[in-house]
């Protein structure tokens, strides 16, 4: 159970003073429903105010506090703003400008010839200086009430900065003193303060050290939880697998395995032979041949008399894997079955029976294969494809599936930078397929302005006439899903006008069977041009499709573009990728696109992606938790993840039960960052 000391931090902000219905929505949107969420809501920047006597002392764009005397009101009519003309002590003019129809209240606030203290951002309007909607207007002598630095927070409609500050002030009143989980020497070395002081400093002064400490806490708790998984896994009894290679020898492959595949296979074999269950991540770019590596592991298990399961993220991929495995395994004495949410009735019953009595050796399917009703006779190896769609908790759940914990092989085509691998898959060992099978065609990538759409369509026409197939991807931005869908439909309609029923459309709102039907027609080349929103991102294999067109490519992330591009270049034909870009590009968008033009190396793209996202990070996106961290920035993940991992490992080496004083404090950190499952592993040992 969560330590009592943390309870105030998990209290609901809905109970705060001044939080009514109107605030519920923005609070929800910013994910600030609990006290601790507010405490970790970091300022996006600090506004600096300058106290001055006369306007000559400051530059435009500075935020100032100054005494001014209103001398005249000017308004050019009902539609134009009210301009309160005012002078500083030297008689310099400035206009305090108020928009809106009600001009009564600014006049009341700023009566003529009465000096006032005014604060706001100085701007130039034509030849005049002005402040638009001063943020403070006070009596002379009250200027001390205005803060010289003020945190400006990520905000949302209906929740302005003042209100946000008030909420955070209320949260700060509830901050408890927490025991220290950071090693004292490190605290001193980094000049970090205690947790409570750091939380307070985060909101009261522009303190880098405070923010850093809190970010480190987050990374430390994360890595500690992973290390606990790893440690508890090591204590578990699994089944050592050492097949006699009989099946693997019979497998007829039309090609040589690459060196990288061989290396990964032997790393996996080494793990499987142990009784401690394997926890391994297999990373390899699209087309690097991960399936075969997984198959070798599965055959190993079957040779040794066990069952294996292969989990795919979607129905389509499950079927595709099932079919390609069936083809590869034809002629071998192996029973392979498929199970997805769509398999119902008698066939489903038969599959369940086969799993329970052991007559099915390998099961392929979607997450349905790990539901409670699915009982295996002796599952010894689970393979998860496209790991990034599965969270840690799902990985843990999986481990509970069999009497003896099955070995786990997770596969991902997203080449993840090393630091992110540690922060997202810290408990796993990593194998990398860093080499593509020989003879792969390089995909030629070009960046083209959307203005040249008709040329692109002409090129597409030539491609289709030459019996090629192609993808056309339209972006899907979550916020306006509807209108983007409309855009995709419109694009499909336009292309249909030219290419008739060779064109198919798939999008995220389609029902599974409907979508699969289109995909299958594309696979059978009945559909030649597949217009899609990003639903095709993951794993579909159509070797004859050698042209990829991505509209508004500047709206996609690097990794995503790389994944999409990986849909082509799978056949013997030379493949092309056209990235259509909008007129105006941000600097990072430009950098992303030119990197793609330059290289096909997924690992390099991933490292750059991290760097660009770090550098070009839009304020507030950190809160969206893309990398799963709320406090730590991407740069901080890179800078501290290694230390945090070592630190966590060291703590567990010395105090595996987290019973020491520091160990107990570390438990608090785990609960604070909601790694409750980490602590539960500790207890069940
Ligand atoms: P991914 O890593 O993207 O899952 P796959 O396992 O689907 O890649 O392999 C992509 C294609 O490459 C498949 O058609 C597969 O048969 C082929 N392939 C795999 N290994 C090799 C190899 N060593 N040499 C040639 N082709 C290979
Ligand atoms: Mg694959």
What separation in Å is there between the alpha carbon of 365 and the centre of ligand 2? 14
Cα-to-chain-centroid distance, residue 376? 34
Which atom, in ligand 1's list, is nearest to the CA of 290? Answer: 2
pLDDT number for residue 624: 34
This prediction has a pTM of 0.76
pLDDT of 658: 95
Residue 485: predicted pLDDT: 72
DSSP per-residue codes, 181-192: -S-HHHHHHTT-
Q: Which of 437, 441, 563 to mutate to test the pocket of ligand 1 (most atoms within 8 A of CB)?
A: 437
In tens, the pLDDT along 86-110 reads 999 999 999 999 988 777 889 999 9
372 CA to middle of ligand 2, Å? 26
As given in the structure block, the two tokens for residue 382 are 């689970």
Q: Does the beta carbon of 258 sit less than 6 angstroms from any atom of ligand 1?
A: yes
Question: Which tokens belong to 438?
Answer: 């020989």
Ligand nearest to the CA of 572: 1
Q: Is the CB of 432 under 6 A from ligand 1?
A: no
Please report the atom of ligand 1 found closest to the CA of residue 288.
2
Q: Which residues contact 23 (CB under 8 A, 6 or more apart)?
A: 158, 159, 163
Is the distance from CB of 309 to CB of 379 less than 8 angstroms?
yes
What is the 3-state composition of the chain as percent helix, strand, coil, each rounded to the nearest 5?
45, 20, 35
Q: What is the CA radius of gyration of the chain?
A: 30
Q: How far is the centre of ligand 1, averaged over its atoms, from the C-alpha of 569 (Å)?
A: 12
Helix crossing, 161-172 with 195-204: angle to 10°?
Answer: 160
Intervals of the chain under pLDDT 50: 615-627, 685
Q: In what order do the strands lie in the sheet with 279-284?
A: 336-339, 362-365, 307-311, 379-384, 407-412, 279-284, 429-433
Q: 334 CA to middle of ligand 2, Å?
A: 21
The residue whose CA is least distant from atom 5 of ligand 1 is: 289
Per the CB < 8 A criterion, the answer to whether 632 and 656 are in contact is no
Is any atom of ligand 1 closer than 6 Å to the C-beta of 289? Answer: yes
Amino acid 238: pLDDT:
85
- How far is it, in rounded angstroms, from Cα 385 to Cα 411? 5
Cβ(310)–Cβ(321) below 8 Å: yes
CA dist 674 and 678 (Å) reads: 9
> In angstroms, what is the span from residue 607 Cα to ligand 1's centroid?
24
Closest ligand, as measured to the CA of 563 = 1
What is residue 403's predicted lDDT score, i.e. its pLDDT? 67
Pocket test of ligand 1: the residue of 259, 281, 283, 287 to mutate, having most ligand atoms within 8 Å of its CB, is: 287
User: Considering Cα of 299, then 300, then 302, then 306, what sign does the dihedral take?
Assistant: negative
- Ligand 1 atom with the smallest distance to the CA of 570 is 11
What's residue 484's pLDDT? Answer: 66
End-to-end CA distance of the chain: 16
Give residue 621's pLDDT: 32
Return the pLDDT at 622.
Answer: 34
Q: Atom 4 (ligand 1): residue with closest C-alpha?
A: 290
Query: What's the pLDDT score for residue 395?
Result: 65
Which residues are CB-contacts of 261 (< 8 A; sequence separation ≥ 6)? 288, 289, 292, 293, 433
415 CB under 6 A from ligand 1? Answer: no
Task: Please say whether the beta carbons of 337 and 360 come within 8 A.
Answer: yes
């Amino acid at each position: 159970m969560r330590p009592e000391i943390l309870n105030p931090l998990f209290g609901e902000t809905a109970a705060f003073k001044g939080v009514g219905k109107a605030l519920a929505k923005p609070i929800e949107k910013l994910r600030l429903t609990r006290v601790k969420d507010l405490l970790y809501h970091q300022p996006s920047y600090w506004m600096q105010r300058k106290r001055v006597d006369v306007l000559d002392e400051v530059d435009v764009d500075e935020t100032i506090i100054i005494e001014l005397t209103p001398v005249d009101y000017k308004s050019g009519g009902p539609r134009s703003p009210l301009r309160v003309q005012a002078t500083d002590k030297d008689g310099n003019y400035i206009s305090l400008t108020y928009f809106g129809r009600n001009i009564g209240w600014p006049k009341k606030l700023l009566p003529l010839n009465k000096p006032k203290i005014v604060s706001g951002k100085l701007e130039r309007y034509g030849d005049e200086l002005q402040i638009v909607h001063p943020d403070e207007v006070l009596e002379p002598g009250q200027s001390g009430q205005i803060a010289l630095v003020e945190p400006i927070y990520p905000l949302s409609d209906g929740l302005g900065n003042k209100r946000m500050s008030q909420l955070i002030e209320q949260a700060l009143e509830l901050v408890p003193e927490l025991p220290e989980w950071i090693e004292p020497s490190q605290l001193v070395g980094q000049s970090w303060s205690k947790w409570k002081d750091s939380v307070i400093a985060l909101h009261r002064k522009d303190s880098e050290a405070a923010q850093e400490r809190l970010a480190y806490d987050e990374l430390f708790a994360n890595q500690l939880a992973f290390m606990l998984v790893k440690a508890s896994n090591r204590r578990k009894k699994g089944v050592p697998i050492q097949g006699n290679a009989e099946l693997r020898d019979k497998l007829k492959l039309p090609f040589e395995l690459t060196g990288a595949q061989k290396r990964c296979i032997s790393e996996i074999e080494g793990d499987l032979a142990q009784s401690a269950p394997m926890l391994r991540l297999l990373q390899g770019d699209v087309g690097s041949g991960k399936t075969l590596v997984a198959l070798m592991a599965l055959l190993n298990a079957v040779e040794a008399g066990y069952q294996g399961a292969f989990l795919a993220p979607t129905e389509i991929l499950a079927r595709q894997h099932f079919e390609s495995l069936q083809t590869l395994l034809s002629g071998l004495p192996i029973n392979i079955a498929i199970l997805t949410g769509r398999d119902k009735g008698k066939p489903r019953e038969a599959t369940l029976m086969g799993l329970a009595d052991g007559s099915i050796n390998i099961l392929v399917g979607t997450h349905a294969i790990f539901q409670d009703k699915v009982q295996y006779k002796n599952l010894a190896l689970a393979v998860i494809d496209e790991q990034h769609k599965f969270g840690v908790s799902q990985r843990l759940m999986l481990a509970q599936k069999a009497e003896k914990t099955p070995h786990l092989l997770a596969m991902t085509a997203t080449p993840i930078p090393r630091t992110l691998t540690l922060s997202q898959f810290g408990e796993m060992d990593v194998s990398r397929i860093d080499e593509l099978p020989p003879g792969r065609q390089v995909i030629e990538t070009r960046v083209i302005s959307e203005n040249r759409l008709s040329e692109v369509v002409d090129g597409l026409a030539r491609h289709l006439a030459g019996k090629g197939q192609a993808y056309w991807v339209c972006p899907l931005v979550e916020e306006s899903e509807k209108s983007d869908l409309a855009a995709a439909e419109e694009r499909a309609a336009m292309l249909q006008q030219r290419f008739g029923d060779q064109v198919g459309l798939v999008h995220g709102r389609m029902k599974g069977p409907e979508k699969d039907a289109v995909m299958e027609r594309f696979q059978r080349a009945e559909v030649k041009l597949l217009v899609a929103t990003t639903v095709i991102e993951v794993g579909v294999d159509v070797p004859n499709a050698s042209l990829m067109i991505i509209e508004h490519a500047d709206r996609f992330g690097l990794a995503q573009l790389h994944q999409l591009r990986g849909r082509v270049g799978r056949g013997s034909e030379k493949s092309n990728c056209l990235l259509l870009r909008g007129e105006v590009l941000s600097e990072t968008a430009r950098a992303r696109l030119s990197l793609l033009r330059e290289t096909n190396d997924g690992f390099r793209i991933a490292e750059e992606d991290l760097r660009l996202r770090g550098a070009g990070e839009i304020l507030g996106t950190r809160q969206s938790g893309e990398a799963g961290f709320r406090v730590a920035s991407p740069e901080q993940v890179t800078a501290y993840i290694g230390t945090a991992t070592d630190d966590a490992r060291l703590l567990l080496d010395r105090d595996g039960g987290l019973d020491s004083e520091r160990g107990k404090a570390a438990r608090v950190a785990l609960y604070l960052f909601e790694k409750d499952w980490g602590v539960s592993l500790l207890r069940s040992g």
